[in-house]
Amino acid sequence: MSTPRARLAILASGGGSNLQAILDHLRSLGNAAPAEVAVVISDRAAAGALDRARAAGILAVHLPASESHTLAALLEAQDITHIALAGYLRLIPAEVIAAFAGRIVNVHPALLPAFGGPGMYGRHVHEAVLRAGVRVSGPAVHFVDTRYDEGAIIAQWPVPVHAEDNPETLAARVLAAEHHLYPRIVAALCAGTITLDADGTVRGAEELTSGRAIPGAPPVT
């Protein structure tokens, strides 16, 4: 008997390009897709992610921050098995973290544990990277806990920082890598290939820790 498909909830506050990349990747897998996106939830009514969900015929829910205590019930009502944060700017309630331990992930646009934490989102991340003068940045995918950007790291993909970069050019280069990396991590998590031990050890992500391991990925240079 085949394993039932995971029912994925995507939480997003912004445009939703990572949501779109996940939808496109799962569609490309056809019958072999290990998950379906069952609901997209946003704290912002105007989030482009909600428009993308509606366009794809997926339940789109605006859940204002003041209603976040209802998130657990919403996830349960939709039989959600896994959660992917995709540009979601709120902390996840502790009861949801506990219920989805090892089944909730996030993508961050810098190489955690550097350049993460409260206030480190969007343009602020890339400004900090450029200010620090580091030569490599890139997305990090990690399990989510009750703090910003601190859960166990699953995968990182190095992307070069060029001398002539500004926050926009760097963000675009990192985002392109996110779109390749994140859907594959989410799919592997939903397939049960990637797991989190009770002691925080991540297993099954070795093949996805570098862009070079991903067929069709753009070169790192």
Among all residues, which ones are annotated catalytic?
A: 108
Compute the least distance from the CB of residue 34 to ligand GRF, in Å.
Answer: 21
Determine the Cα angle at 177 with ends 176 and 178, to 5°. 90
Of the two residues 160 and 192, which places its CB atom closer to ligand GRF in the complex? 160
Of the two residues 15 and 102, which places its CB atom closer to ligand GRF in the complex? 15
119-139 b/e with 16+ CB inside 10 Å = b? ebbeeebbbbbbeeeeeebbb
Compute the least distance from the CB of residue 206 to ligand GRF, in Å.
Answer: 22
DSSP class of 134: -
Compute the least distance from the CB of residue 185 to ligand GRF, in Å.
Answer: 12
Q: Which residues does residue 21 pair with via DSSP β-bridges, in sequence order?
A: none
Of the two residues 20 and 73, which places its CB atom closer to ligand GRF in the complex? 20
By CB under 6 A, name the binding residues for ligand GRF: 12, 14-18, 86-87, 107-109, 175, 178
Contacts of 102 by beta carbon, 8 Å cutoff, 6+ apart: 143, 195, 196
CA distance 176 to 194: 22
Of the two residues 34 and 138, which places its CB atom closer to ligand GRF in the complex? 138
Which residue is nearest to ligand GRF, using beta carbons? 87
Query: For residue 108, how far is the Cα from the chain centroid?
Result: 7
